[in-house]
Homo-oligomer: A and B are copies of this chain.
Amino acid sequence: MENQQSYPSILLENVVKEFANLPGVGKKTAMRFALHLLKNEEITAENLGNSILKFRSEVSYCRVCKNLCDEEVCEICKNSRRDPSTICVVESVADVMAVENTAQFNGLYHVLGGVISPMNGIGLYDLEIASLIKRVENGGIKEVILALSPDMEGDTTCLYLYKKLAPFDIEISAIARGIAVGDSLEYTDEITLGRSIVNRVKYKV
């Protein structure tokens, strides 16, 4: 059906097509977005359009940790109250924000920009691995925490990073995997439950 749809205006067709490129957005949702922009003041569409253009063309990456930032070095790396000897390696900018929201980590980050995934054509040189090694080589690092997703690609990347970082005199840790807070044992998959038993920790009060 969708291919037969004829739009009354080429401008509408274009904006629907572009919206539909966003992840999780189909033609119907895209159409809803377009009609929303039409119903609202022109400034709504202007702000959206301009913020998208400005964001993509002007945003830059922190020279140190490769996180998004507006200057050369990001707020986290510049913050003298954070511990520069601990680096938390994450996949994306969203993960930095997720860890920051826990308020449980006071070190610095390193954003890889993805995980090794030959299926998606992402190899070693597409990621910020060399810059991570360089940071460790420069010294002053005591611990690297690998905080990647617990899937095939994440595990592969962790293993590779471990091999690269092992020669240095630093501690290498990975975030704990186990049963999420609030989940019941009964419905947890075997692999997670098995790992959470093998990697059990000393009970602390």
Contact present for A45 and B38 (CB under 8 Å): no
Q: Find chain B residues with CB under 8 A from A22 CB.
A: 33, 36, 48
Contact present for A21 and B48 (CB under 8 Å): yes
A56 within 8 A of B: yes
In the assembly, what is the distance between CA of A51 and CA of B51, in Å?
13
A132 within 8 A of B: no
In the assembly, what is the distance between CA of A22 and CA of B33, in Å?
6
Contact present for A56 and B45 (CB under 8 Å): yes
Cβ-neighbour of A54 out of B7, B14, B38, B74 (below 8 A): B14
State the copy count for this chain.
2
In the assembly, what is the distance between CA of A117 and CA of B65, in Å?
53
- What are 29 A-to-B residue pairs whose CB atoms are below 8 Å? A5-B101, A6-B100, A8-B67, A8-B68, A8-B69, A8-B76, A8-B97, A11-B55, A11-B70, A12-B55, A12-B93, A15-B54, A15-B55, A17-B51, A19-B48, A22-B33, A22-B36, A23-B32, A31-B94, A34-B55, A35-B93, A35-B94, A37-B55, A42-B57, A45-B56, A45-B57, A48-B52, A49-B50, A49-B53
